[in-house]
């Protein structure tokens, strides 16, 4: 395993963050408690010390499963991140958003489900257009001062919103966001235009979600729409496979994977691991085999010309993932 310093937090995290959205019973494809335990335990065996969940994942079950497993390990060795914005187990008018009331009550619920007194990274899951950002930042700052949260982070939003939040925190002496969890992969690179220049300048740790484009970069283009996951993503409206250059990029990933004798997913992840914009991609999987393959991808060395070959066809696509 390789490790990196997460932005300005000073925390040393594995270059793979295990995404835990697959834990729970909300859908048939999810992992139950025993299956989730096996995946987390194998991740720890492989050297992964960074785990990402959210209050809304399977109505809080994800946090419970992760917390139960980590309770049997040295908590000091693990870095745990969770999120607030969308409804969790109790869906009511104040279960969503980023008001002080929602943040405080959802944080208490998350800590209870995780079985922890403090969470290492507490992230806003999206921007809340109904709550002033100053209200949100003051509630998060108080959580840090109470010792319930060590660091705060943000997720997909417009760069001007993120810069506004950073400026406000600096002006008012509040805890500032130190991480950005946003959509980024070979067929969606819009974050390079504005968000990543901000993150680089402000020493923000970057944690891309869906680094494999919801599975599109794990199989040939023509096979994607034939899978259940592909059908789901099409219904959901994700643009990964529809970009003007998506099919060509997909083909180049496949070509390079064949040349190196590895999987397409491993090439797509290797691109992330060598990308100077990225601290640790969030790798969500329901398979130990796929997790082990992701770790093996750390050993793949892409030359500058190979990176350029993968990136060259890219063309702009509509911004996605901010809502």
Q: Please list the active-site residues.
A: 57
- Tell me how far apart the alpha carbons of residues 240 and 217 are, in angstroms, rounded to a whole number: 9
Pairing state between β 177-181 and 205-206? parallel
Phi-psi region of 309 (alpha: psi -120 to 50; beta: other; left: phi over 0): alpha
- Tell me how far apart the alpha carbons of residues 129 and 85 are, in angstroms, rounded to a whole number: 11
- Tell me how far apart the alpha carbons of residues 245 and 139 are, in angstroms, rounded to a whole number: 43
Q: How far apart are the first and last CA of the chain?
A: 34
**How large is the angle between the packed helices 288-296 and 264-273, nearest 10 degrees?**
50
**Dihedral over Cα of 232, 237, 240, 244: its sign:** positive
- Tell me how far apart the alpha carbons of residues 252 and 254 are, in angstroms, rounded to a whole number: 5
How far from the centroid of its chain's Cα atoms is residue 90's Cα?
24
194 neighbors 201 (Cβ within 8 angstroms): no
């Amino acid at each position: 395993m390789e490790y990196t310093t997460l932005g300005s937090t000073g925390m040393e995290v594995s270059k793979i963050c295990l995404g835990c959205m697959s834990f729970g019973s909300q859908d048939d494809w999810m992992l139950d408690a025993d299956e989730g335990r096996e995946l987390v335990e194998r991740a720890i065996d492989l050297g992964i010390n960074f785990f990402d969940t959210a209050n809304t994942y399977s109505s809080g079950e994800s946090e419970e499963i992760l917390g139960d497993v980590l309770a049997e390990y040295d908590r000091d060795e693990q870095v745990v991140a969770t999120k607030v914005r969308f409804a969790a187990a109790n869906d009511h008018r104040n279960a969503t958003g980023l008001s002080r009331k929602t943040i405080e009550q959802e944080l208490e619920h998350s800590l209870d489900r995780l079985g922890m007194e403090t969470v290492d990274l507490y992230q806003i899951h999206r921007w809340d257009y109904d709550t002033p950002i100053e209200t949100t930042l003051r509630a998060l700052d108080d959580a840090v001062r109470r010792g319930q949260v060590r660091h705060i982070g943000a997720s997909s939003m417009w760069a001007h919103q993120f810069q506004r939040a950073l400026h406000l925190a600096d002006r008012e002496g509040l805890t500032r966001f130190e991480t950005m969890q946003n959509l980024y992969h070979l067929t969606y690179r819009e974050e390079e235009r504005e968000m990543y220049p901000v993150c680089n300048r402000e020493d923000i740790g970057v944690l891309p979600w869906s680094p494999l484009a919801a599975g599109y970069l794990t199989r040939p283009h023509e096979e994607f729409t034939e899978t259940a996951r592909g059908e789901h993503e099409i219904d959901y409206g994700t643009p990964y496979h529809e970009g003007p250059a998506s099919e060509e990029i997909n083909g180049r990933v496949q070509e390079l994977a064949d040349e190196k004798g590895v999987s397409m997913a491993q090439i797509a992840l290797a691109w992330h691991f060598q990308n100077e914009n990225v601290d640790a991609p969030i790798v969500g999987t329901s398979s130990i085999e796929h997790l082990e393959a992701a770790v093996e991808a750390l050993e793949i060395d892409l030359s500058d010309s190979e990176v350029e070959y993968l990136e060259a066809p890219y063309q702009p696509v509509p911004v996605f993932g901010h809502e």
